[in-house]
Structure 1
Amino acid sequence: MQFPESWLREFCNPSLSTEQLAHTLTMAGLEVEELKPVAPPFNHIVVGQIVDAQQHPNADRLRICQVDVGRSDFLSIVCGAPNARVGIRVPCALVGAELPPGEDGKPFLIKLGMLRGVESQGMLCSARELKLSEDHGGLMELADDAQPGQDIREYLKLDDTLFTLKLTPNLAHCLSIYGVAREVSALTGSPLKALSFPSVAVGDESRLSVKISAPDLCGRFSGRVLRSVNTKAVTPTWMVDRLARCGQRSVTALVDISNYVMFELGRPTHIFDLDKIHGGLDVRWGKAGETLKLLNGNTVTVDEKVGVIADDIQVESLAGIMGGDATSVTDETQNIYVEAAFWWPKAIAGRSRRYNFSTDAGHRFERGVDAGHTTEHLERITQLILDICGLPETVCGPMDDIQVNIPKSVPVTLRVARAAKVLGMPVSQAQCLDALQRLGLDVKEGEGTLTVTPPSFRFDLQIEEDLIEEVVRMLGYDNLPATPPLAPITARVRPESERSPFAVRRALAGLGYQETINFSFVEERWEHELAGNANPIKLLNPIASQMSVMRSSLLGSLLQVLKFNLDRKAPRINVFELGHVFLRDANSQNTDTTVAGFNQPMRISGLAYGPRSPTHWGQADKAVDFFDIKGDVQALLAPLQAEFSPAEHPAMHPGRCACVSLNGKAIGFVGELHPKWRQSYELALAPLLFELDLEAVLQRPVPEFSPVSKLQPVERDIAVIVAESVTHADLVRTINGAQTQGRLLRAQLFDVYRPVAGNTSLQMGEKSLAVRLILSGGTATLTEDDIESAVQSVLTSLQRELQARLRA
């Protein structure tokens, strides 16, 4: 919320500088986000009145103006502004004046000069030249009460500062100038200006029939009729300036008055054109299919969850958010109806976001507005309307005040001992009592307790912690002791058989991958398509419509990163992510790190796309394939030996996908993206992906010492014919299980041969696997008999387990 310091000091004027006042507010929880001067520095600029304006003899667009600046002689100033005319009062920069700095950062100095042969003794200024606004259509015209020669800074009250507060939602009572002044008075002890709202004279008995059909929407509705109002009246300059310094532009007099009371007292109000209302008003929930054209020009459709104000024919306003165009006030309006209501915050919260806009009124009502002073505030707005838009024939009707469901003040008790424990500093009952009474709260003392009955403007005081917060706000957050937290800390020593997630990241980076970090909430479509998750965990309040569910797989996030980089012409993309996924799990219980009903394991996932390596003159441009990324997974898991078996995964190609297992337990998948998702993402090549359980990837066997044989190993090559369904893993597992009398045996596949036309040794559905057997005798030299025995044992095992036969 933005406001000028001068307006605040009208209600409460402590003997503090601007900076001290800002610090005091910040230390009380009302964070001052920015302090900004109303106008940049400039000097020797006064009010000037043009008393004569003649055409320049040597220029069609210039005039020679005689300007009264409060001296005995008029100044002769050459001016090219289109609105330079006799009688107007404008800012006049005297010779020697410094105007605000330009784009180069240097101040603009006014000198005595010659323009087309005529001497100019100063400069008449526009608002833009003084950096007061962006209006540069002509000279800045001042009101008739501006006295020639008066300093422009003094006349326009430019030596002022704009405060911008960043308020938390529980401080809605400070969303007004008077609300902030009430806080300043409590913090500094300076007197607070008392407000009075005298009743205006009632000159007409006209009333508008109003009923509240939804007490859970509106608890109180106050209003009155005003007839013969001058809606064409001009808003006073002082009100326009104050609204501008609150960030609100002037619209019309009636709208400006409504906005002024909202900033002054925190009370949003609305003004209807009385003659456009059909019958009476009904405050109710909307009905499905009803539409309303708003003041901003948008047409919205309401339903049973949106509050409205309707007449006998149609909806006229969105409750607590924005009025409708049908009953808006125009220059032809003569009779109006002014309303001030209390709307329940839960009935207003989130409604404007449904229609993709927000309003100052909605911002206040969804946080809470004082329900106890609607009539007093209505008197204030009525008086302003009479002062600014009143005519001799203007009359006011009696005030209607319908109360159906006003919040009840529930006493809240503060335990002084509890306050001291929460704050971490000693506080006495006298200190707590003083702090609460300074805030204008009704406090009753007990034995070590204080009981507060919250006033209507402090609807946020509901529990004991709210009162503790008020105490520390009055004491000042800067007075809290800097006490370090005390807690038992037990260092978690990672076992030697487990590596850290950082080591996994470093290993993948060493393989050429770059880490990405993505949101844990994703599109629901990804879960259905890429994870096969028909029932993802949905968010109650997603930050965006495309981030509505929690992810159960990291693959969708990596594909999004891939698409983002491809759209920016990246030719080669290798990325990985290490993060949580979220799964439903009925066995999960609430602990310090878990949530009942949900499992949140960590996974590591990677994606490779494009060339296997960067372009290099010494090697071919080979695109990454399944075996490349399989090799990366093997390198990541080494020295553990992973097993790969054909599998199916919703995101992967049905014939190019493998399940990754360790010691017979599946830990993830590796494969090529499914063709239909490749087409859906419009990818020129098929990316390769893997996703593994991080807990399994972290495991590492403890190294064990094994001496290197001093004797040379023996190699034997064999070729066996097996069925096409036999895998390399089956072959290696069978060879390693052969009985070799304690001799060391390793197997390396070095050739795969499949039948071709005319070949008689292999049948269709068979293949030949050539294997190199490497034998080592350990401490003894192998004899020919030992070698032959080991080879025969291997062949026997292959024949028995895999129905293999030796190839001739």
Structure 2
Amino acid sequence: MRIPLSWLKSHVDLPESLTPQEIAASLVSLGVEVDELRALDDVTGPLVIGRVVRIEELTEFKKPIRYCQVDVGDNDEEDDDGNVVPPETRGIICGATNFDEGDLVVVALPGAVLPGGFEITARKTYGRTSNGMICSVRELGLGEDHTGILVLPSGEASPGDDAGPLLGLDDTVLDLEITTDRGYAMSIRGLARELACKYGTTLMDPAALSVPGAEGDAHGVHIEDQLGCPRFVARRVTGLDPTSPTPWFMRRRLMLAGIRSISLAVDVTNYVMLETGQPMHSFDTSSIKGNLVVRKANPGEKLSTLDDAERSLDPDDIVICDDTGPISLAGVMGGASTEVRPDSTDILLEAAVWDPRSISRTVRRHKLPSEASKRFERSVDPALPPFAAERAAQLLREHGEARIQPGRTDVGRPELPGSVIMAIDLPDRVAGINYARGVTAHRLSQIGCHVEVTTTDAGRPAVLVVPPTWRPDLTRPADLVEEVLRLEGYDTIPSVLPTAPAGRGLTPVQRRRRAVSRTLADAGYVEVTPSPFVSSAAWDAFGLDAEDIRRRTMKVLNPLDAERAELTTTLLPGLLEMLARNVSRGARDVSLFYIGQVFLPRAEPVPMPTVSVDHRPTDDEIAALNAGLPQQPVHVAVVLAGNRERAGWWGKGEPATWADAVQAARDVAAAAGVDLTVQAGDLLPWHPGRCAELRVGGWPVGHAGELHPKVVEALGLPRRTCAMELDLDALPIVRRRPAPAVSPYPPVLLDVALVVDVSVPVAEVAATLRSGGGDLLEDVQLFDVYTGEQIGEGKRSLAYSLRFRAADRTLTVEEATTAKEAAVAVLADRFGATLR
């Protein structure tokens, strides 16, 4: 949320000596996050008001180009005879088309420097000399609107006037982040009240209006969904002059808040929303057919919204309807059929209160966030709609010559905050200090609470607090304590560190996880954190059968993204999505890893118990909650594409292969202190001929290899993308690892080439060599694989390097040869291997 500081200061009497930085620091101390504090004085040099005298359309170019003669008040003198010399005009090239001859514009003359260090000079372009620049809102640093240049209202200034005071370039814009529990702060009114409490000054409440009673009915309204719409207020104005411009002070404030000016009727509703915190909508009354009804959408209904999109409505959506059907998506966006047009003179102003949860679901479902929905999601003051509607109607009367019709529709009964009893010394006990007498009642009264001093059931002094209508978050004593401490200042609470008890260190599971993470990072993988949510389309891309167990997922009732409403059963979808995103942004050699939980539903659903929050759950309740949760084992997965060894002056790069994915699994097993067995596997999304099944103790714990080409194509991945996923929780915990025995004696190195059937796994050949070689065989490494006519069909040659060493003596070649022959004999007996 962005607001100009001058607007905020107009509603609260702050000390003149306060700097913008001090005001921002005060807001931070009150719990309002300030993302940015931006001064508008970063424009230097001549910036003046100009009047467009003549426009020449340059039609020889592909895009609209205009050569404008602009009066900037350079020469407005009398000659010797007393005649006024016509002012000189400056020729300026401009590509915008949203202005006409006679309009007032802002001109940066040569020598001016605009935000971002953009220096203005006279230069020749498009065959003309451009002697300055006509500026847009974004070029002036006043906002993000760059659809056209800034056109000023006539009568606001004269050509040649300094544009700085009119634009308010001495102002400062605050960019704020408002938490979800403090919707009242998304307004000038709410923030001004916070600062008034901070400094003990006067609040000029923009909603402090004299509002007439709800006499008559401006437009018949019936609420069918009372939960979705607790209150609906309508106020009607007629005779609006559709040509009335939005006053400059309003346009400027909206512009600095990031809202584009559209028309007086629309601008007024946006202005009142920012000022009071009450979102509003304006209907063209003549377009409404019959009375209004607030209800849930019916199945199959559609609505064309103001963004020219036809939306299929969900039965959970709240809509405003007339006799023709839905005309507005409540709290989110209006419909095109009742839009206020440039010639609309009869306006129906709507100010309502909507259920925050319903609005939140609708926004996510339709991917349609708006300034109004942001406020409704955080809750809106249920007492505010009549005042906001009256404020908007008065502004239209004042600036658009509208007539406010007698009577006001006000239907619905919103739920008001209930009372809370709190021990009067509870804030003192929580903070650990003794506040001055009366601080608790004073601070709660400042924020709008009605406070009465009473006693608790135990006879202790207490306060009976009725929160204001704009603070629905104050529901328990802890909330009231927070308000007292917040306004007194968290910095006044003493910081006393308790003595840290002796810890027991990391658990074996934590140590293993850290070891695996460090090992993969050392191997060149980059750790990422993908989303745990997936869509069913991911399983289709993986080519999984309808009965595949991985398709059986847990669905989220209120997902952040309606298209990704399932909790993943494997880490690969999220990792592969991040791999594709990195490749799309120019990365070519990518190696990623992630250690995280997957979510496996139980075979039989277990109902979740309802647990009260007014006491600690019992052991039985905790056990029932845990029984209803899905299994959440921790997996580790890697994905890699491109070169595993990058190219450079040292030579060509080495592309990543299935062997690298298998090696990542071996590295994980080594870090976990377990022995990993690798054998041929077949599981999508891996390539059936390049997939390895990973086993520990005879149990499968994961797979590694190259992905199936169809999967690679479906996900838009690089060719030969590889992946590995392993169930880390399935690995046994190794609590004690024996220290390695290092022999001081030299090794004997021997090579052996064996011919075996191609069906014999390489891993089993190596394991047989190790067992057959006995204690003297220290290491086995495969260094060559050969197939060809010399070997024979269905055969392959495997060449191994064997390292023999004795722990207590220098090993002789004869002893090593005997051990090698024993190992080869075991291979010959088990697999029919022969020496090559």
After TM superposition, the score normalised by the length of structure 2 is: 0.73
1:27 deviates by 1.0
Give the gaps of 5 or more residues in structure 1. 54-58, 111-121
Counterparts of 1:603 and 1:333 in 2: how far apart (Å)? 61
Task: Assess if the C-alpha contact under 8 Å between 2:115 and 2:140 holds in 1.
Answer: no
Which residue number corresponds to residue 113 of structure 2? 101
Which residue number corresponds to residue 25 of structure 1? 27
Q: Is 1:400 the equivalent of 2:409? A: yes
Q: Quick one: which of 179, 188, 191 aligns to 1:168?
A: 179
Counterparts of 2:272 and 2:761 in 1: how far apart (Å)? 82
Task: Assess if the C-alpha contact under 8 Å between 1:126 and 1:135 holds in 2.
Answer: no
Q: Quick one: which of 487, 490, 495 aligns to 2:503?
A: 490
Report the residue type matching 1:442 in the other structure: H
Which residue number corresponds to residue 533 of structure 1? 550
Which residue number corresponds to residue 475 of structure 1? 488
Q: Is 1:438 the equivalent of 2:446? A: yes
Moved more, 394-403 or 481-490: 481-490
Counterparts of 1:253 and 1:167 in 2: how far apart (Å)? 28
Report the residue type matching 2:445 in the other structure: Q
Counterparts of 1:322 and 1:780 in 2: how far apart (Å)? 86
1:343 deviates by 2.0
1:263 deviates by 2.2
Task: Assess if the C-alpha contact under 8 Å between 1:126 and 1:140 holds in 2.
Answer: no
Q: Name the % identity.
A: 27
Task: Assess if the C-alpha contact under 8 Å between 1:49 and 1:68 holds in 2.
Answer: no
Deviations 1:202-221, CA, capped at 9 Å, x for gaps: 9x977432211111121222
Counterparts of 2:133 and 2:805 in 1: how far apart (Å)? 103
Structure 1 residues 484 and 625 mapped into 2: Cα distance closer, same or farther (>3 Å)?
Answer: same
Structure 1 residues 687 and 478 mapped into 2: Cα distance closer, same or farther (>3 Å)?
Answer: same
Task: Assess if the C-alpha contact under 8 Å between 2:364 and 2:560 holds in 1.
Answer: no
* Equivalences for residues 306-325 of structure 1 within 5 A: 306-325=317-336
Q: Is 1:367 the equivalent of 2:403? A: no
Deviations 1:113-166, CA, capped at 9 Å, x for gaps: xxxxxxxxx999978898778899999766547699997655665543333332
Q: Quick one: which of 24, 34, 42 aligns to 2:36?
A: 34
Deviations 1:569-627, CA, capped at 9 Å, x for gaps: 87766x35241231427699979xx9973444444444566677566999999876666
Counterparts of 1:158 and 1:758 in 2: how far apart (Å)? 85
Moved more, 626-635 or 477-486: 626-635
Structure 1 residues 756 and 414 mapped into 2: Cα distance closer, same or farther (>3 Å)?
Answer: same
1:401 deviates by 2.0
Structure 1 residues 533 and 191 mapped into 2: Cα distance closer, same or farther (>3 Å)?
Answer: same
Report the residue type matching 2:341 in the other structure: T
Counterparts of 1:135 and 1:727 in 2: how far apart (Å)? 65
1:222 deviates by 2.3
Task: Assess if the C-alpha contact under 8 Å between 1:231 and 1:389 holds in 2.
Answer: yes
Deviations 1:8-53, CA, capped at 9 Å, x for gaps: 3333212142333222222111233333345556699899999x99
Structure 1 residues 469 and 609 mapped into 2: Cα distance closer, same or farther (>3 Å)?
Answer: closer
Counterparts of 2:564 and 2:716 in 1: how far apart (Å)? 22
Which residue number corresponds to residue 9 of structure 2? 9
Counterparts of 2:566 and 2:266 in 1: how far apart (Å)? 43
Deviations 1:518-557, CA, capped at 9 Å, x for gaps: 4142544445737951213444555556754444434445
Report the residue type matching 1:476 in the other structure: G
Which residue number corresponds to residue 686 of structure 2? 652
Task: Assess if the C-alpha contact under 8 Å between 2:686 and 2:708 holds in 1.
Answer: yes
Which residue number corresponds to residue 253 of structure 1? 264
Task: Assess if the C-alpha contact under 8 Å between 2:575 and 2:592 holds in 1.
Answer: yes
* Equivalences for residues 309-458 of structure 1 within 5 A: 309-390=320-401, 394=403, 396-403=405-412, 405-423=413-431, 425-427=433-435, 430-446=438-454, 447-458=460-471
Larger Rg: 1
* Equivalences for residues 753-764 of structure 1 within 5 A: none
Report the residue type matching 1:415 in the other structure: A
Counterparts of 1:498 and 1:101 in 2: how far apart (Å)? 57
Structure 1 residues 451 and 100 mapped into 2: Cα distance closer, same or farther (>3 Å)?
Answer: farther
Structure 1 residues 489 and 779 mapped into 2: Cα distance closer, same or farther (>3 Å)?
Answer: closer
Counterparts of 1:377 and 1:716 in 2: how far apart (Å)? 89
Structure 1 residues 462 and 92 mapped into 2: Cα distance closer, same or farther (>3 Å)?
Answer: same
Task: Assess if the C-alpha contact under 8 Å between 1:522 and 1:550 holds in 2.
Answer: yes
Moved more, 27-36 or 615-624: 615-624
Counterparts of 2:769 and 2:121 in 1: how far apart (Å)? 95
Q: CA RMSD in A?
A: 5.7
Moved more, 528-537 or 281-290: 528-537
Deviations 1:447-471, CA, capped at 9 Å, x for gaps: 3432211122222222223212211
Report the residue type matching 1:553 in the other structure: T
Counterparts of 1:76 and 1:473 in 2: how far apart (Å)? 63
Q: Quick one: which of 596, 618, 643 aligns to 1:580?
A: 596
Counterparts of 2:779 and 2:157 in 1: how far apart (Å)? 102
* Equivalences for residues 569-648 of structure 1 within 5 A: 575-584=591-600, 597-607=629-639, 637=669, 642-648=676-682
* Equivalences for residues 103-122 of structure 1 within 5 A: 105=117
Task: Assess if the C-alpha contact under 8 Å between 2:569 and 2:600 holds in 1.
Answer: no
Q: Is 1:212 the equivalent of 2:220? A: no
Structure 1 residues 604 and 443 mapped into 2: Cα distance closer, same or farther (>3 Å)?
Answer: same
Q: Is 1:78 the equivalent of 2:95? A: no
Counterparts of 2:811 and 2:310 in 1: how far apart (Å)? 92
Task: Assess if the C-alpha contact under 8 Å between 2:599 and 2:630 holds in 1.
Answer: yes
Q: Quick one: which of 686, 689, 702 aligns to 2:738?
A: 702
What count of residue pairs does the alignment treat as equivalent? Answer: 767
1:369 deviates by 1.6
Report the residue type matching 1:702 in the other structure: P
Counterparts of 1:659 and 1:247 in 2: how far apart (Å)? 56
1:81 deviates by 6.4
Task: Assess if the C-alpha contact under 8 Å between 1:66 and 1:75 holds in 2.
Answer: yes
Deviations 1:669-704, CA, capped at 9 Å, x for gaps: 344434543554577854554434446498584135
Which residue number corresponds to residue 234 of structure 1? 245
Q: Quick one: which of 204, 210, 218 aligns to 1:198?
A: 210
* Equivalences for residues 33-182 of structure 1 within 5 A: 33-38=35-40, 40=42, 67=76, 77-80=87-90, 100-102=112-114, 105=117, 143-144=154-155, 158-182=169-193
SS of the equivalent of 1:333 reads: coil
Structure 1 residues 219 and 654 mapped into 2: Cα distance closer, same or farther (>3 Å)?
Answer: same
Which residue number corresponds to residue 285 of structure 1? 296
Moved more, 156-165 or 309-318: 156-165
Moved more, 337-346 or 274-283: 337-346
Q: Is 1:677 the equivalent of 2:711? A: yes
Structure 1 residues 487 and 407 mapped into 2: Cα distance closer, same or farther (>3 Å)?
Answer: farther
Counterparts of 2:107 and 2:643 in 1: how far apart (Å)? 70
Structure 1 residues 490 and 167 mapped into 2: Cα distance closer, same or farther (>3 Å)?
Answer: same
Structure 1 residues 62 and 614 mapped into 2: Cα distance closer, same or farther (>3 Å)?
Answer: closer
Q: Is 1:462 the equivalent of 2:478? A: no
1:439 deviates by 1.7
Structure 1 residues 702 and 374 mapped into 2: Cα distance closer, same or farther (>3 Å)?
Answer: same
Structure 1 residues 541 and 100 mapped into 2: Cα distance closer, same or farther (>3 Å)?
Answer: farther
Task: Assess if the C-alpha contact under 8 Å between 1:607 and 1:689 holds in 2.
Answer: yes
Structure 1 residues 514 and 458 mapped into 2: Cα distance closer, same or farther (>3 Å)?
Answer: closer
SS of the equivalent of 2:416 reads: coil
Give the gaps of 5 or more residues in structure 2. 55-66, 93-98, 123-130, 455-459, 607-618
Counterparts of 1:221 and 1:167 in 2: how far apart (Å)? 25
SS of the equivalent of 1:11 reads: coil
